[in-house]
Amino acid sequence: MSTASELRSLVKQLQQSSATEQDLVAILEKLKAETKITESILRESKAGLAVGKLRTHASKPVSELAKEVVKKWKQLVELEKQNNATNKPTPAGSSKPLPLRKHSTASITPSTPTTPGGTPTMSASSSKSDVRTAKSDGVKTNLTGDTTRDKCMELIYDALAFDSGSPSDQILGRAKGIEAAVLAEFDGVTAAYKAKIRSLFVNLKDKNNPGLRESVVSGDLPVQRLAKMSSQEMASEERKAADNKIIQQNLFNTLGAEEVQAETDAFQCGRGNVDTVKLRRGALMNL
């Protein structure tokens, strides 16, 4: 498989509602075995978004395999970028690949284990390279001439990109659109603007909320709509379910406390005496 059309064919099979767990696993195995993946092919086929959504699939074999595929594709795209940077012609004797090498070593924390020769171990460097940021992607966000706006745009980029397999220019386009939409929504760089950017960053970078990130990056969720959404609306399905459970429990407790207050003297005991009886409101309605 070496063309976007061939990859797109497998993506369509992944998205079929009739696909079983076995079907999904088989297709993902084919995708994982492919080594001719490039950024342009992923961009044209939109395979990264399709496979990325399966990382939260109810089936553990499917979700785990989808994560492995996305991770491998990230590594292939990163390798492609490094090769392109290395092979790019540079002015007389200039060693331009050095900034790339500087980035890879700079991303290693001081506590990273090294070999006797001082070279970082593969496990440490690869674990760091899994997290994408504007800096690691070489993306410049100083586009507006306003330091605060540029920093906010970078934050949104980092939140969208950190586990994404989508092209950097696509993610940057969404980050620019989100920042501009928030700016328009709050009439400039105000306190409300900054608070909204912080809220977006937290919700978009929530590791349990990949669906929100992917819908934004793919364009399924318009940036204008996102700029108006509350934290509750942006929350992951897991968090929404937990919040709803708390609300229902509080409602139950409140109603339970109120219902026992209803009283009636319409009943007599066996000796003919009138007794005051406390009933729940639901019981009175059924009398």
> CA angle, 210 as apex, 204 and 212 as ends, to 5°?
55
The pLDDT of residue 243:
57
Rounded Cα gap, residues 37 and 72, in angstroms: 10
Q: Give kind and range of the element (H or E) at residue 221.
A: none
Q: What is the pLDDT of residues 245-268, one digit of tens each?
A: 676 777 766 665 555 455 555 555
- Provide the 8-state DSSP code for 120: B
Chain mean pLDDT for the chain: 75
Phi, psi of 189, rounded to the nearest 5 degrees = -80, 80
Q: What is the pLDDT of residues 96-144, one digit of tens each?
A: 444 444 443 343 344 444 444 443 333 333 344 568 899 988 999 999 9
- The gap from C-alpha 172 to its chain's centroid, in whole angstroms, comes to 15
Q: What is the pLDDT of residues 34-91, one digit of tens each?
A: 777 888 888 788 888 888 888 888 888 888 888 888 888 888 888 887 877 776 655 5
Question: Contact 256/280 with Cβ under 8 angstroms?
Answer: no
As to burial, measured by CB atoms within 10 angstroms (0-12 exposed, 13-18 middle, 19+ buried), residue 77 is buried
Kindly list the distances between the CA atom of residue 200 and the CA atoms of 9, 52, 209, 212, in Å, as whole numbers in the listed order. 34, 20, 12, 11
Q: Structural domain boundaries of the chain?
A: 1-87, 147-235, 238-285
Rounded Cα gap, residues 219 and 177, in angstroms: 11
- Give residues with Cβ within 8 angstroms of 181, minimum separation 6: 223, 224, 226, 227
Q: What is the CATH number of domain 1-87?
A: 1.20.930.10
Rounded Cα gap, residues 167 and 215, in angstroms: 15
Whole-prediction pTM: 0.51
Nearest to 157 by CA among 142, 169, 175: 175
Question: Contact 124/108 with Cβ under 8 angstroms?
Answer: yes
